[in-house]
């Protein structure tokens, strides 16, 4: 029999105020969690220890999940905390939904669900902040079948800058997003290896620092200048800057988390590097300009 009882959201679960902003130029989704009111009591003292958890759907990986800090002993918490998803594309904005859940943290048992709401990202206009004040609803099921069918290995943000001083192309490793989990704890210890092809003497190889227990690492490293053996790189066509994502291991060695074309290193990225020949030329006239792109 269909449940015709009145919804619990407004009366018993509480309300949540938040805002969303899709920064199209920087491929970022900013989620500002403001406050909640009248949350359902979850503890014996008639209060709760609430926090907010974000989950991009579809997507089963922990890389798609973010959370606020926990506020103790309150039914009317004020967070004023901004959580950001990086590497968000226009395609993501069309097909993905943001699930926002309010939960109660419990030190001795499993954390308990209070209420949730879901926002299809296609409702957002690029570069416009949309503010919400909604009543929380009961928990809805997640389609895990759809999650697996759209699973990806991750994305990487690289930067290109022509150095007039060194007369070469600086390729920077900025950050990664939505990486695949390689460890039992659901995370990875990622690092990025880069090299320029062809490179017979292997002088262009570089490895970034290892970032512990994260699926959204930030590196901000510049491996070096794109140079041929014996001189500056005069032209980009025919040469690929190859990037491979790895997960570090304590005993040495690493597990590949993404390789071409899964991570977009030798598939999509070199194509953009080849197209950057024009920008490489422009860079001689604009040596301080930095070009960035997700792959």
Domain for residue 35, yes or no? Answer: yes
Q: 239 and 200, same structural domain?
A: yes
What pLDDT is recorded for position 223? 64
Q: 141 and 252, same structural domain?
A: no
C-alpha distance from residue 201 to each of 36, 185, 195, 205 (Å) = 60, 39, 11, 10
Q: Which two tokens stand for residue 282?
A: 């422009």
Domain for residue 4, yes or no? Answer: no
State which of 104, 128, 147 marks the end of a domain. Answer: 147
Q: 102 and 169, same structural domain?
A: no
All residues at 6 or more sequence positions from 179 whose CB lies less than 8 Å from its CB, including other chains: 61, 63, 153, 154, 188, 190, 215, 216, 217, 245, 257, 258
221 touches 171 (CB < 8 A): no
What pLDDT is recorded for position 8? 45
What pLDDT is recorded for position 138? 92
Query: For residue 279, is pLDDT > 70?
Result: no
pLDDT tens digit sequence for 184-232: 777 888 888 877 676 667 677 778 888 888 888 888 887 655 543 334 4
Q: What is the pTM of this model?
A: 0.70
Cα 164 from chain centroid?
33
Query: For residue 167, is pLDDT > 80?
Result: no
Q: 206 and 127, same structural domain?
A: no
Dmax over CA atoms of the chain, in Å, equals 78
245 vs 252: which has the higher pLDDT: 245
Query: For residue 2, is pLDDT > 90?
Result: no
Q: 121 and 53, same structural domain?
A: yes
Q: Which two tokens stand for residue 106?
A: 């419990």
CATH number, position 33 = 2.60.40.150
State which of 123, 147, 171 marks the end of a domain. Answer: 147
Q: Give the pLDDT band (50/70/90) at residue 282.
A: very low
Q: 212 and 142, same structural domain?
A: no
191 vs 235: which has the higher pLDDT: 191
All residues at 6 or more sequence positions from 143 whose CB lies less than 8 Å from its CB, including other chains: 57, 58
What pLDDT is recorded for position 71? 97
Q: What are phi and psi of 18, to 5 degrees?
A: -155, 165
Range 252-279 burial, b when 16+ CB lie within 10 A, else e: eebeebbbbeebbbbebbbebbbebeeb
State which of 91, 116, 147 marks the end of a domain. Answer: 147
Q: Is the dihedral of CA 254, 256, 257, 260 positive or negative?
A: positive
Q: 164 and 98, same structural domain?
A: no
What's the start-to-end Cα distance of the chain, in Å? Answer: 49
Domain for residue 284, yes or no? Answer: yes
Q: Which domain holds residue 251?
A: 155-294
Q: 212 and 119, same structural domain?
A: no
Closest CA to 86 of 44, 56, 123, 120: 56
Report the chain's mean pLDDT, rounded to a whole number.
Answer: 76
d(Cα 205, Cα 222) in Å, to the nearest integer?
12
Q: 137 and 34, same structural domain?
A: yes
Query: For residue 80, is pLDDT > 90?
Result: yes
Average pLDDT, integer, range 26-41:
95
Query: For residue 241, is pLDDT > 60?
Result: no
Closest CA to 161 of 282, 262, 80: 282
Domain for residue 175, yes or no? Answer: yes
What pLDDT is recorded for position 114? 95
Q: 269 and 169, same structural domain?
A: yes
Q: Give the pLDDT band (50/70/90) at residue 143.
A: low
Number of domains in the chain: 2
Most confident residue range from 127-141, 164-178, 191-205: 127-141
Q: 266 and 184, same structural domain?
A: yes
- Please tell me the chain's helix, strand, coil percentages from 3-state DSSP, rounded to the nearest 5: 15, 40, 45
Query: For residue 79, is pLDDT > 90?
Result: yes
Domain for residue 3, yes or no? Answer: no
User: Looking at the chain, how many residues does it have?
Assistant: 295
d(Cα 139, Cα 9) in Å, to the nearest integer?
10
Q: 162 and 258, same structural domain?
A: yes
All residues at 6 or more sequence positions from 270 whose CB lies less than 8 Å from its CB, including other chains: 240, 241, 242
């Amino acid at each position: 029999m269909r449940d015709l009882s009145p919804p619990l959201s407004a009366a018993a679960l509480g309300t949540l105020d938040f805002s969303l902003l899709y920064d199209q130029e920087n491929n970022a989704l900013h989620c500002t969690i403001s406050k909640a009111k009248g949350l359902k009591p979850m503890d014996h003292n008639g209060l709760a220890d609430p926090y907010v958890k974000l989950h991009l759907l579809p997507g089963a990986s922990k890389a798609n999940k973010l959370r606020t800090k926990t506020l103790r002993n309150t039914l009317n918490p004020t967070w004023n905390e901004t959580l950001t998803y990086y590497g968000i594309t226009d395609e993501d904005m069309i097909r993905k939904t943001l699930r926002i859940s309010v939960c109660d943290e419990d030190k001795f048992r499993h954390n308990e669900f209070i209420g949730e709401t879901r926002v299809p990202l296609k409702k957002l206009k690029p570069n416009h902040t949309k503010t919400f004040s909604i009543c929380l609803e009961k928990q809805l099921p997640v389609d895990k079948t759809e999650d697996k069918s759209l699973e990806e290995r991750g994305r990487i943000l690289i930067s290109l800058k022509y150095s007039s001083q060194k007369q070469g192309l600086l390729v920077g490793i900025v950050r990664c997003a939505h990486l695949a989990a390689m460890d039992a704890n659901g995370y990875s210890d990622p690092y990025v290896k880069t090299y320029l092809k062809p490179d017979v003497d292997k002088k262009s190889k570089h490895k970034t620092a290892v970032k512990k227990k994260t699926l959204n690492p930030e590196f901000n490293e510049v491996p070096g200048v794109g140079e041929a053996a014996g001189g500056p790189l005069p032209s980009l066509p025919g040469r690929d800057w190859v990037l491979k994502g790895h997960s570090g291991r304590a005993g040495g060695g690493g597990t590949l988390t993404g390789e071409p074309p899964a991570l977009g290193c030798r598939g999509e990225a070199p194509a953009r590097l080849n197209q950057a020949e024009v920008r490489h030329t422009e860079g001689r006239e604009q040596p301080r300009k930095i070009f960035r792109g997700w792959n």
